[in-house]
Amino acid sequence: MTSASHVCPDSRSRRLTLRRGGALVASLAVVSALVLVLGPAFVWPAFIFPLVLAAIFFFELGSLAVTIWLGNFLVFYYSLRTPATADTVRQTLVGIALFLLAGLLLGRVQRRHHASETMLAASSLTDRLTGLYNYGTFVDYLHGEVTKIDRYGGELTLLMLDLDHFKQFNDQFGHAAGNDLLRTVGSTLRSLVRDADLPARYGGEEFAVLIRGDESDGYEIGERLRHAVQATTVPVPGKSDASVTISVGVASYPAGASDETDLVERADAALYESKRRGRNRVTISHGAAGRSVVPASLTA
């Protein structure tokens, strides 16, 4: 799936990592300066803060980096002052080892906690069966994209897709095979849409793909998806495999719809026009926003 890049894009993640790295380096510099002023007795309590910060931000790797910084800082510190005695060196090495162990344990706990939170967040955004975004995520993203277009301009296109004769497929081969089919179609959508597009399971056997672009872009993607699904097969009881087709409806905003609700309604109307005209085709809803349109059906 286009990873939750729509919710947390890669560029935003990189910026967050850079900010966290900057905050960690700044804390290490401040703590090091304080120790230089206050003396070595404050090394361990002072460096606890950047250690915890590193474990929270970067897990075990962060704890290791802070420990390396600490070791080098102590070498630098003692090189500026009276050379360390054997006892001081021994105590310092033991302290660094314990410091590293505590940091690694803290980082491991934080990483597991982060992984659990990530899985929980993903489960609330995606459909369990297909792995695509769920209806709620789709609605939120659609609203956000329409708001961006109203503010900055651009074109947004919605594809509504429905599996043809899915009820008959379920009745003939069983619900387990139907679920396998939905999973396979979900995987097909994920593999064919662009990173900037949002594929979602709209409900039942109906899917939606939201793209940046006009209706011609939507038609092109719709045809690509239609051919891919038609060529997809799943194993079913009593046969080696079976396949289905999809019908697609395409509508754009703002050229062809007045708001997000109208966009969904027009794409849905175009979808059912595809059904009415024989299924396994892509239909575009043409027309300016605010006036009735006659869907135009296009087939490969």
Name the residues annotated as catalytic. Answer: 205
150-156 long-range Cβ contacts below 8 angstroms, 24+ apart: 150/254, 154/212, 155/212, 155/213, 155/214, 155/252, 155/253, 155/254, 155/255, 156/210, 156/211, 156/212, 156/213, 156/252, 156/253, 156/254, 156/263
Beta bridge partners of 200: 133, 208
Tally of CB atoms within 10 A around 239: 11
Phi, psi (deg, nearest 5) at residue 146? -65, -40
- Beta strands (DSSP E) in 119-231 are 156-163, 198-203, 206-212
Intra-chain end-to-end CA distance of the chain, in Å: 26
d(CA 36, CA 287): 72
Residue with tokens 């090189």: 79
Shortest CA distance to 25 belongs to which of 66, 63, 64? Answer: 66
